[in-house]
Structure 1
Amino acid sequence: MNTTIPNNGLPKFTQTTGNAGNGPATTASGAADAASAVPKAGDQLKLTDSALALQEAARTDDSAVIDAARVERLRQALADGSYQVDAGRTADRMLALDQQLGGTGNA
């Protein structure tokens, strides 16, 4: 089954390629020029701490250590109703997180 989605009167935009900077974008019609655009030796890319954290979180390799035994203990405690929530500890950690995120720390 084929489905066609009409343009609904919206303007058609050209596909840009390869340029994430502030310079002029290369359009699909200028693809020949894009092939000759080679990064210069002095080009650099610096990621913010947030970008690095997101990149690390997105990793799919086995670098994340998961304690399978602890996960199973928690799963069992939830299933049999013996899991206890320490409300004071939870509140303290939420306040600490708020302070890390730039909040005032006042509840």
Structure 2
Amino acid sequence: MNTTITSNGLPLPPQTKSSQGSGTQQGASTSTESTSATAGAGSDSLKLTASAQSLQDVAKAGSGQQVNTQRVEQIRQSLANGTYQINPGHIADRLISIEGQLSSKS
């Protein structure tokens, strides 16, 4: 069985012989949920680990956020000017927070 990986990193579900010859990719799914697919006599399944599911949940939660273009431009200008200040304590706090979110969901 051949599996085609799409540009978003998700595999296409198995296709029957009649749909393989067509030029379109029918049945392509952009869903990132845990998937179980059956095809004919055999069956393939995919089960995400708890940590993979947690990463997926965090990615979904962050996908609805809007980009603050004004803030991005401020950072871009300060980087260009050489005046951007890195706060390692803040970075460490955020990393610990993310780790806590990931480990609490497993």
- Please state which band the TM-score falls in when normalised by the shorter chain: 0.3 to 0.5
Higher relative contact order (CA 8 A, sep 6+): 2
TM-score by length of 2: 0.42
